[in-house]
């Protein structure tokens, strides 16, 4: 039963859905205004992507609808070092840590039951699993906690862009750029650094993801006594 463990499901859906919120757009920011509102939509995209790619950390939170099911994200990402946080979908959730080339997950009973059946849920209750980031089962989780890969997947490509009127998002002055081809709007800070503030999209495949606490200190500590998923499988 344990060899059926496939923890990639929720993370893969989350990454694909996040990328799909908007094909790619960007932003800018300064205390008296950073001039992003006067840029073309393409220039805004380039500016916000450049800012995000040089950031040291960010907090990511929100809900994405994928296949009619909401996936909730709450992640701290540290550039070049990995990430930590929690994902949940359909009543099942898991904590995750990615650092040092290893991904760790600790699922709720419902999560372990979904990926491995009732026997797995009993055996693994309260336990962490681990695997290399290169392992196929954990590859999507690794990508989701990689700030550079996440930036590329959400900001690298887009359709026809339209700039929106200045607005306020999450308490910040922002400029929106909408991908009219694929749908979805990227909101970019209009003061300070041109960091993304949020990505939002309506409809059945939409949702909203917030980007906050850019460059704040993040500590990632690998959990102890994690079960190596390859050893667990070979034992069964």
pTM of the shown model: 0.82
Measure Cα distances from 20 to 14, 171, 200 in Å. Answer: 10, 25, 10
Domains observed in the chain: 2-234 (2.50.20.20)
Q: For residue 197, which of 71, 59, 24 has the smallest C-alpha distance? A: 59
d(CA 137, CA 111): 15
Helix axes 8-21, 147-155, angle to 10 degrees: 40
pLDDT digit of tens for each residue in the chain (236 aa)?
Answer: 233 344 445 555 555 555 555 444 433 333 458 999 999 999 998 999 999 999 999 999 998 887 778 889 999 999 989 999 999 988 889 999 999 999 999 999 998 888 888 888 888 899 999 989 887 667 777 778 888 887 777 777 678 899 999 999 999 999 999 988 888 899 999 999 999 999 988 777 788 899 999 999 999 999 999 998 877 655 55
Count of H-run helices and E-run strands, the chain: 6, 13
């Amino acid at each position: 039963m344990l060899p059926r463990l496939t923890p990639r499901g929720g993370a893969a859906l989350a990454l694909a859905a996040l990328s799909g919120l908007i094909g790619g757009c960007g932003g800018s920011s300064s205390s008296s205004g950073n001039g992003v509102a006067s840029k073309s939509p393409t220039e805004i995209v380039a500016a916000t992507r450049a800012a995000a790619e040089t950031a040291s950390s960010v907090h990511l939170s929100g809900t994405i609808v994928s296949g009619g099911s909401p996936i909730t994200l709450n992640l701290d990402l540290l550039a070049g070092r990995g990430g930590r946080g929690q994902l949940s979908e359909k009543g099942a959730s898991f904590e995750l840590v990615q650092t040092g080339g290893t991904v760790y997950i600790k699922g709720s009973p419902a999560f372990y039951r979904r990926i491995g059946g009732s026997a797995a849920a009993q055996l693994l209750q309260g336990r962490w699993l681990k695997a290399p980031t290169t392992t196929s089962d954990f590859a999507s989780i690794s990508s989701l906690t990689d700030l550079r890969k996440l930036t590329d997947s959400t900001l690298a490509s887009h359709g026809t862009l339209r700039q929106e009127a200045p607005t306020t998002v999450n308490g910040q002055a922002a400029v929106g750029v909408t991908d009219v081809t694929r749908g979805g709007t990227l909101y970019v800070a209009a003061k300070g650094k041109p960091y993304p503030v949020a990505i939002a999209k309506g409809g059945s495949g939409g949702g909203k993801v917030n980007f906050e606490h850019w460059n704040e200190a993040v500590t990632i500590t690998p959990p102890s006594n994690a079960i190596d998923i390859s050893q667990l499988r070979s034992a069964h």
